[in-house]
Amino acid sequence: MKNVISSAVLFGASVEAALYKSKTPPMGWNSYNYYNCYPSEDIMKTNAQGLVDLGLAGLGYVYVTTDCGWMARDRDSEGRLQWNTTLFPSGGQALGDYIHGLGLRFGLYSGAGYYQCGSTDLPASLGFEEIDAQSFAEWKGDSLKYDNCYSSSRTIMADYVSPASTSPERHEKMASVLDGVDRDIAYFICQWGIGEDLGEWAPPIGNVYRISNDIYNSWRSIWRITNQVVPFYKSTAVGAYPDMDMLIVGLNALSIQEERFHFGMWAINKSPLNIGAPTDPKLTPAASLDVLRNEEVIAINQDPLSKQARLIRRYTEEEWDIWAGDLSGSRIVLGVANWKNDSQTVEFDLSVVNVSEARARDVWTAEDLGTISGIQKLELEGHEMRLLVLSDIAAQPSPPRSTGYYAVSNGTFSGGASEISCDEGDCAPAGSKASIVGQGASVIFDSVVVGSEGKKLLGVDFINHELALDSAWGWGSNTRNMTVAVNGGTLKRWAFPISGGDWYESDRMFIEVDGFVAGENRIEFAPSGDSAAPDLVGFELFES
């Protein structure tokens, strides 16, 4: 049965979408990461069989998707897409029958542009949505990955800025057409997260929606994509999942510790888990296959609540984060992420996730740790993410109390800093924001009163929509850095992730700042070096 959900307004008419929506993030295998745009019938059949033989299918990896490169250059006389019979001599329907015969699901690929990605002449579905959707149904497809190449031109493959490319209309149209065919087809939107408000328009119509530019075989792409997924907790729900792109586990791009980190970060953020490595133990290391088969990490990803984890604390200069998310059964998944190249020992109090004490299980070691409480001291290897599942939780009896909110309108501006008014509902909660650009720019708050000296918790409301698109292949990180200094003390830097769907949607990041004295204090927010800081809306101060 199809799940009926309300869709956005498509082309002037309010419609009811009935696209297939899985109850947990889809899992499967995709041809692109290893075979690029050169799949074949043998490749697809071999890897489908491998999912079964290696026990991966039984763990939930059931979608088998032929990515770019499957179609012929010419449509037939009736305008229908044709399979490249040199690569796929049996055709698409026969391939689908084979995959279904293994108890798996048949994933198809096209795009909302003139040509498919990775080519200059292989047709995509722009202008042919109705006839292509009918073909996908006739071939008994179970899902459609819908890409965004050649969206505005027959000559520009990746356009990140034009209205035609950034508009959701082409992807909305295919959703509406798929809804009319006589087959349940899960819709995997691959619009790369460009433009604005992806978290508003995509979840009602897509089972999954790509939130970033492509992953590639480098550790720094894990950092980049992680910083882009942060705000999607606002829209992640049963049937609508943020796609952090296919896994690079098993591609000899990362260390085994980094592969666990990568897999764990994707899992807690409720991304689909699509294997990109061959399902052939001669090609994919056994240790990597073990990562992909970790049932406890998979269970976190597939938890029926479908609650995305939140970034709870960030310690940029020390290079580690704390993440946490709700699980069914009144449990919490706690992720402690070491971004540092080297090993380090970190300490934190469970009160940061509002926990006084709980039973803990280390997911990667499959070890019950018993009851834990208070200060936790973890020795982390370089690029390790420790995953703990907490149960039998006793809440923190006295969480930090708010002692005041300081909007930018209460600040003093210097250098290139300026206040920008926002429309009603934007730049929450204050309604305006500060642009802090260039050396010498800052926003200063005087008379910030606290009751005791030392370190305080600040909930910083910020805006960052500087998406790493062209820069994704280099050092683009989806962050902006800002420094905070108290009473003229040492500047300390924090990397702020993407906050939302445009330059007016704020988010809050909690930071711990030292140097306060009892009574009145002065806090200065400034850029780090010559780069622009995130826009600042204000901050709330908390004391224990």
**Which residues are catalytically annotated?**
147, 214
Beta pairing class for 519-527 and 442-450: antiparallel
Euclidean distance between CA atoms 28 and 65, whole angstroms: 8
Cα separation of 23 and 303, whole Å? 9
The DSSP bridge partners found for residue 189 are 146, 209
Query: Residue 135 belongs to what H/E stretch?
Result: helix 129-138
**The two three-digit tokens of residue 462, written as one number:** 């910020």
Complete DSSP assignment for 332-384: EEEEEEE-SSS-EEEEEEGGGGTEEEEEEEETTTTEEEEEEESEEEEEE-TT-
DSSP string computed for 8-58: EEETTEEEEE--B--SS--EEEESHHHHTT---HHHHHHHHHHHHHTT-GG
Radius of gyration, alpha carbons of the chain: 24
Q: How far apart are CA 409 and CA 183, in angstroms?
A: 55
Q: Cα–Cα–Cα angle for 199, 270, 356, nearest 5°?
A: 110
Instruction: Check: CB of residue 433 under 8 Å from CB of residue 537.
Output: yes
- The vertex-524 CA angle with 538 and 234, nearest 5°, equals 30
Strand partners, 186: 20, 143
Locate the DSSP E strands across 162-275. Answer: 186-189, 208-210, 241-243, 273-275
Nearest to 215 by CA among 263, 268, 163, 181: 263
Contact 152, 159 (CB under 8 A): yes
Distance, CA of 325 to CA of 306 (rounded, Å): 10
Q: How far apart are CA 206 and CA 189, in angstroms?
A: 6
* Contact by Cβ (8 Å): 191, 168: yes
> Under 8 Å CB-to-CB from 151, ≥6 apart: which residues?
112, 113, 126, 159, 162, 164, 165, 170
Q: Where are the beta strands (DSSP E) in 131-172?
A: 143-147
User: Residue 167: how many CA atoms within 13 Å on its side-chain side?
Assistant: 13
